[in-house]
Structure 1
Amino acid sequence: MFRYDLPYYFAGLPFTPRQVGRKLAWLLGGNEIRQVMKGVYVDIRIPDSLELRADAVRLVIPPDGVACGRTAAWIHGIDTTALGPECLMEARWTRDATDVVEVRDVRVTSPVATAVELAMQLPRPFALSAVDAFLRSGKADRWILRAASTAYEGRRGFRQGEEILRYADRRAASPGESWLRLRLIDAGFGRPDLQIRVDGAGRSYRLDLGYPDRPIDGRRLGLEYDSDAWHSGAKAESRDENRRTELEALGWHIIPVRRPDVWGSYPALELAAGAFLCQHPRLPRRW
């Protein structure tokens, strides 16, 4: 499968502790292998790929099992938390799935079935960001998801799943934008518009989300999720500040949002948005 020179011990193939025995700690300590998922290891030089993930899962589920839930999403290339490094994936499988596809000879619940199950099973913010990611990838369609979800009526999490599928939107460009959108909806401000284009003199801007149809004193509210990866450091902060000043001149009040604003316990985000919209937010926060 993988063409590598040295070391020869597994030629880059994923393997389990049973296959390596007492050498496992030695290989890990020497930084020659890494853990791909719980109980599965691989040569450190093998990059992550959907092919590698499928091969790893094949080692830890029975031949008649079907990978489902977060494991299926992982094989389909969908991140189900995106909140820092994920914990090692633990194999989840079932024998009862009906909507099944094959990925490198591994039976996996289809993208549609996986997205519906995640909408029902994951905590609400992660459920929404996962379903948004499925829609963004083109592997699932919102209306097909809503139609498929009717088959799950009566199961645990069905009501949450229906809510998440109503809110899902393929235009969300990142998990942070999905979480921010859910915050605003939960606060009672209504569903914001996404990827809003603002035309200025000589250039155009695109806002993560906002309320273009609810002007207050001639200005509109826009919100942007500033991730740690792209909006940290003096240069990035200066660029963001200049951008907000330019948008202010175009009639937009911009609220920058960072991860602590979304996940912290104090409702500063809801209070700031409510102050501009002249609306009391629905509190306490749901998550």
Structure 2
Amino acid sequence: MTEIFLGREALGDGLPRHELRRWFRPLFRGVYIPKVATPTLHDRATGAWLTTDRTGVVAGVAASALLGAKWVDDVEPIEVLVDTRRRQPGLVVRRDRFMPDEVTTAADLPVTTPARTAFDLGRYQHRSKAIGRLDALMRAAPFRADDVSMLMRRYGPTRGVRQLRELLPLVDAGAESLKESWLRLLLIDNGFPIPETQIPVLDHDYPFAYLDMGWRNTQLAVEYDGEQHRTDRPQYVKDTRRIPKVANKGWEVIRVINEDRPRDILARVYEAHLRRGGAEIDKLAHFTPTFSPKGSFGRGVSSAA
């Protein structure tokens, strides 16, 4: 385990100042880590907590990671709830109110509970990122929407609560990446029915494939091909071989990659939606199987961050 400590405490315990400078470097102001160490997110969260004199609570994306959520980089800024503390690089200080029942322990650190973490993620993250973080948290540490709603009532019309209220009914633990969450929100924002996630495709009552998202009534699915399809050759081969089998079961799959523009994604999905008997969507009515989309529309058509 990486040694992380407050410099003043180490000096008080007898560590010579020249030894501190020789073998350790600042992680945050007054917090030190060995020079040879590459800090993990847990290391940085520990250091952030120490900067608060052990009185703060780790919150936001870092809290979600400590609670088990995936897709959080080690360099993610650490958010802490604390009464007062100066800002510094890599640290986001939030002087928000919180109650004792909104704090738990994860990885030996005080962190916000899943419900309070969701309350903060849905308010402070950009909308298209917030849904991904909420999905990931729900997947790792399930929370009840009612508990988040209770916090909205507790704190009233605070910053970002309107966005949170819109996103909360859309949270889906079936998303397997942040990009899948972004793609699902793009479809919902532009009038498509809320897609089901992780749809099983059966062969003699045995699921041989699970589709990222889609609609059973039209047997139309949308899948995001992420980085693993380029770097994980066995997975790529497996996915390639299942495509004809899925098609033989009557499904059409629209495959999306990172380089696809949102308007082009929507055009392709809408054309397939109409072709397979889906109802016309007013805000997408200018899409046809033969004409390109004209202009932008709706929310969520900007590229994912």
Is TM > 0.5 for Structure 1 vs Structure 2?
Answer: yes
The structure-2 alpha-carbon separation of the partners of 1:21 and 1:200, relative to structure 1 and needing over 3 Å to count, comes to farther
Q: Which deviates further from its counterpart, 102-111 or 123-132? A: 102-111
The Cα shift of 1:180 comes to 1.5
Name 1:92's counterpart in structure 2: 80
Is 149-158 or 52-61 further displaced after alignment?
52-61
Question: Separation in 1 of the partners of 2:255 and 2:69?
Answer: 26
What is aligned with 2:158?
155
- Residues in 2 aligned to 1:63 and 1:21: alpha-carbon distance in whole angstroms: 23
User: How many Å apart are 1:197 and its aligned residue?
Assistant: 0.8
Letter in 1 for 2:80: R
Alignment of 1:177-196 (within 5 A): 177-196=180-199
**Contact (CA 8 Å) 1:36, 1:88: kept in 2 or not?**
no
1:209 correspondence with 2:201: no
- The answer to whether structure 1 residue 272 and structure 2 residue 268 are counterparts is yes
Q: Distance in 1 between matches of 2:163 and 2:139?
A: 21
Measured at CA, do residues 234 and 140 of structure 1 come closer, stay the same or move farther in structure 2, by a change above 3 Å?
closer
CA distance in 2, matches of 1:86, 1:112: 23
Partner of 2:292 in structure 1?
none
What's the offset of the Cα at 1:204? 2.1
* Alignment partner, residue 41 of structure 1: 33
CA change 1:152–1:269 in 2 (3 A) is: farther
Residue in structure 1 matched with residue 178 of structure 2 by the alignment = 175
RMSD (Å) for aligned C-alpha atoms: 3.6
TM-score (norm 1): 0.74
**2: CA distance between counterparts of 1:37 and 1:139?**
34
Aligned residues: 261
Between the aligned partners of 1:156 and 1:13, the Cα distance in structure 2 is 37
Identity of aligned residues (%): 25
Distance (Å, rounded) in 2 between the aligned partners of 1:139 and 1:21: 46
* Matched residue, 2:222: 223
Partner amino acid, structure 2, of 1:208: D
1:78 aligns with 2:98: no
Partner deviation per Cα, 1:148-180 (whole Å, 9 max, x = no partner): 333343111111001111100122233222111
Instruction: Tell me the amino acid that sits aligned with residue 189 of structure 1.
Output: F
Question: 1:112 corresponds to which residue?
Answer: 115
Distance 1:24 1:111 in 2: 37
**Matched residue of 1:59: which SS?**
helix
Letter in 1 for 2:223: E
1:57 aligns with 2:57: no
Mapped to 2, the partners of 1:231 and 1:36 lie a distance apart of 37
* Cα distance in structure 1, aligned partners of 2:194 and 2:175: 13
**Structure 1 residue 211: Cα displacement:** 0.8
Query: Which of 51, 60, 65 is the aligned partner of 1:69?
Result: 60
Secondary structure at the aligned position of 2:216 is classed as: strand
Residue among 162, 165, 170 paired with 2:168: 165
Q: Which residue type is aligned with residue 224 of structure 1?
A: E
Residues 36-94 of structure 1 show CA distances to partners (whole Å, capped at 9, x for unaligned) of 999653575688485x4553333222333233333433433435xx48x5644244322
**Change in 2 beyond 3 A, CA 1:248/1:57:** same
CA distance in 1, matches of 2:26, 2:55: 27
Does residue 129 in structure 1 map to residue 125 in structure 2?
Answer: no
Question: How big is the shift at 1:21?
Answer: 7.4
Structure-1 separation of matches of 2:250 and 2:116 = 43
1:148 to 1:231, Cα distance in 2 relative to 1, 3 A? farther
CA displacement at 1:212 relative to structure 2: 0.7
